[in-house]
Structures are given as C-alpha cells and as structure tokens.
Amino acid sequence: MAAFNHIMICLDLTEMDETLIKYTNFLVDTLAPSSVTFIHVMETIEIPDELADAFPEMDRPLNELVEEEIKEKVDTHFEHQDKVKTDVLLDYGLTTEQIVQQARRLKIDLALLGKKIGYEGEGGVARRIVGLIPASVLMVSETTPHQINSILIRMDFSRMSAIAMKTAKALASFTGASLECHHVYKLPLGYIPQKGPAEVKKLRKQINGYVQKEYRAFLKKHKIEDDIPCSFSMDMQGDEAQMLYGHAVKSQADLILVGSKIKSQLANVILDSTSEKLADAKKNVPIMVIKDRKQSIGFLKALFDY
C-alpha cells in the first residue's frame, strides 16, 4: 500500500468544513502525512456594478474574502500546521473538474470529503468527485467519531480487493483496528425453487464452504497472510451495497473499505455501483474507496485528455 503522504481536504464553505478540518487533526495524528492541502473551488461569477453598489461592505474582491474565510477556519480548527506542510488552495471553475485536476497535479494520496447527514446538501458533487478523482477517498459525516477500531473490507476476490486488504492491514498497524472481510454472494433465488428453513440452512453451509475455499485461493494468489476472517451474506435483492452496509452496522465497524473497480462504460463514470451507493449520504458509516492511481490517471487521459 502506498503511504497517505499527501491528504487533500475538500471544503465547501458550509458547516461541514469544521467537521472535516477537525477530522484532519485525527488523520494527521493517526497516519502521519507529510503534507495537507485544504481546497475550495469558487464558481467564476461576475457581479454587476449595480449589485456591487448595494453591498458597500464588500470593498474587496470576493476571492480575497473567501480565501480569508477559509484560512480563518483552518487557523481556528487545524492543530497541526507546525507538524505538517499545510497549504490552503482557492481554485476557480467547475468543482469536480478542478478538484480532479488539482489532485492529479499535486499527486494526492487521499482526499477527504463530507457525507452530509444532517446538513443541507444531497452530495451529488461529492459522489462525482469520488468517481473521477485519481486518489483514494475517505468520506465522513458530521457524526463520525475520531476513531478507527474496526474495519470491514469488501471482498469480491478481485485485484482491487487485494489492494484494499493490504491497505486495511497498513491502517490497522497505525490504529490497532480489528479487520474483517465480507463477501456478498449473489444468489439468483428468483430462478431457484423456494426452499424451507432446513434447506436454506444447508444451502448457507454449502455457500460458506465455497466462499472459504475461494478466500484461501485468493490469499495464496495475492500472497496475503491468512489472519483476517471472511464472512459472507446472500444478496437476494441485487443490492450488494446495502448488504455490506447492513453487516457493517451490525458488526459496529468504524470504516468500510472498498477497492474501486474502473468501469469501461462512460455511463458508470468510472466508479463501480457498489462504491457509489456506499458513498450515499444516508449511509452513515464512513467509507474509504481505494483507487489504483496509475489506472485512474490513464482512464482520465483516455476520456478527457487530462
């Protein structure tokens, strides 16, 4: 796993900013990054002179006022400016596009975004950023505690699951967190005759044996030590994200960690559907989406010539 040496915090001038800045204190204490960049993207807005005259208190350019507000928030809530290289970046244009470009330019390892459970905002911009940014992403809500004691890893036996698992191991070395993998087994029950309780129990036992066999083969293939348990659940509704989230809540996980797989269809905007659904604001457990930086940048070049 690549170290999270450079962390970007995406601010939007709402109440969520204070939450993210304070959570950054926890990340610095936990992950020991070398650099932290706080970024806000302003829309390019021309204010007509007639309207400007109506606000005489705005005797300075708007961008100066916004930058001053961001720096004041950082100075007030960020406790480690003397501990890590700290930058405040004000950019202009479309939020998603500029954050993606800056993440690539600055070689960001981890981007911190907000999931607004109680504050206003539907999170559409955040989900687009998660899909396109060539960096791993951590999404937290305003109620997220500053702790990572238990990590649930999405297991689908892919290469990205192996990367996610190795990342989880590295995080555990910093936090002491317990680790568990969880595989959502897609069972087409609509095409299988209905079974009674005894038959369902037998079926679960058979699936568990199959999953554990696949898991052992997966560990051997990717040269990972066999010290993390792997559980499973049966997906009867075609919603892996909800099954994974439900297990995270039941097991009281502090973090869901998934390896994001790039989709070739433009309609899927790079992020696979399970990761996108887990990024939904209604799901309160924090989610970390692990990206393959080289693969993400290559795909962005192919799509947008970045």
Q: Read off the pLDDT band of 197 (50, 70, 90).
A: confident
pLDDT value at 220 more than 80: yes
> Is the pLDDT reported for residue 164 higher than 90?
yes
246-257: b or e for each residue (b if 16 or more CB lie within 10 Å)? ebbeeeebbbbb
Confidence at residue 34, expressed as pLDDT on a 0 to 100 scale: 95
* SS3 state of residue 160: helix
Cα–Cα distance measured from residue 206 to residue 128, given in angstroms and rounded to the nearest whole number: 39
Cα dist from 103 to 8, 35, 96, 129, 255, whole Å? 8, 13, 11, 10, 23
What confidence score (pLDDT) does residue 282 get?
Answer: 74
Stretch 74-80: mean pLDDT: 97
Cα dihedral 99/28/69/87 (nearest 10): -60
3-state secondary structure 6-59: EEEEECCCCCHHHHHHHHHHHHHHHHCCCEEEEEEEECCCCCCHHHHCCCCCCC
Rg (CA), the chain: 21
Class of domain 6-304: alpha beta
How far apart, in whole angstroms, are the C-alpha atoms of residue 53 and residue 60? 12
Give the pLDDT band of residue 268 (cuts 50, 70, 90): very low
Between 263 and 254, the higher pLDDT residue:
254
- Predicted local confidence at residue 262, as pLDDT: 58
Q: Is the pLDDT of residue 278 over 90?
A: no
To the nearest whole percent, how much of the chain has pLDDT over 70? 79
pTM for the full predicted model: 0.85
Query: What would the DSSP string read from start to end of 177-209?
Result: -EEEEEEEEE--GGGS----HHHHHHHHHHHHH
At 180 the pLDDT is 97
pLDDT of residue 193: 60
> Looking at the predicted structure, is the pLDDT value of residue 100 above 70?
yes
Specify the pLDDT at position 306.
Answer: 54
Higher pLDDT, 44 or 269: 44
Q: Please determine, for residue 253, whether its predicted confidence score (pLDDT) is greater than 70.
A: yes
Residue tagged 């696979």 (tokens): 272
Instruction: Report pLDDT for 58.
Output: 57
> Which residues 6+ apart lie within 8 Å of 170 measured at CB?
1, 3
Is residue 200 over pLDDT 90?
Answer: no
Return the higher-pLDDT residue of 124 and 15. Answer: 15
For residue 120, CA distances in Å to 16, 77, 142, 282 come to 9, 21, 12, 12
- pLDDT band at residue 301 using 50, 70 and 90 as cut-offs: low
Top pLDDT among 280 and 295 is at 280
Q: State mean pLDDT over 11-38.
A: 95
Q: Specify the pLDDT at position 269.
A: 45
What are the backbone dihedrals phi and psi of residue 125, each rounded to the nearest 5 degrees, phi first? -65, -45
- Averaged pLDDT for residues 92-111: 93
- What was the pLDDT predicted at 117? 62
Lowest mean per-residue pLDDT among 11-20, 71-80, 148-157, 180-189: 180-189
